[in-house]
Chains A and B, each alone.
Chain A
């Protein structure tokens, strides 16, 4: 008779699920490589910066004096890159780190608990810097208007910051942990 699979409702994981994620058989997966995970983190960070820069797109396109076709092309290509890097990057990062990030302490050993806790602490500090930077930007940023249908829409900065908050713990953990 198979052992009962304990469900951790708060963490949203099961005992067998976590153990399966942390087995050696998953180590060949592309996202299990630290190098690939770091590439994902860099792409995500770039995507988040581009989202925030969307707030300055009206000024930027005017200053660059782009023809209509080029303007649409640059905006579309950037939007596709941002969607792939941020949404795709976030999904893959979550898949790659959730074994440690979401697991309850009793399913992890002391090193895994330590690296998860310190990663989350670093992420907390980084989130503070991101919040401070975004506050400075919205206060001092030229011609930035929040939730306006025309002009430099500051809501892109807010969206980027919120997404950064949601993904920062996974980004730091994925960057730090060599073997997941």
Chain B
């Protein structure tokens, strides 16, 4: 890809941010404010177009009351789990 976006395009980080955010009834803007990032960055994360740093992954996990390993994975999550 010309000008790749991801931190590591060969090894994307899968996540369940959208699902967890919806469970808590948070908007992207609200989650972004709590995690200290721009609201568009939450969109990039949810579309798995950007792999977060460990610090951001921990901040998002804490905000969504989840463990990092429950929210992020190097393999795709099974649907409904």
Contacts and interface: CB of A to CB of B under 8 A. Distances in A.
Contact of B39 (A24, A110, A172): A24
Contacts, number: 33
Interface string A90-122: 000000000000000000111110110011001
Given A24-B29, A179-B43, A110 B37 contact: yes
Contacts of A156: none
B40 A179 contact: yes
Interface of B: 3, 5, 7, 29, 36-41, 43-44, 50, 52-53, 55-56
> Could you tell me the dominant secondary structure of chain A's interface residues?
helix
A176 B50 CA distance: 13
A26 to B, nearest CB: 12
A115 B7 CA distance: 10
Given A24-B29, A111-B50, A172 B37 contact: no
A172 B3 CA distance: 9
Interface residues of A, number: 16
B7 A114 contact: yes
A98 to B, nearest CB: 15
Nearest to A108: B38
Given A24-B29, A179-B43, A109 B36 contact: yes
B35 to A, nearest CB: 9
Given A24-B29, A110-B52, A176 B5 contact: yes
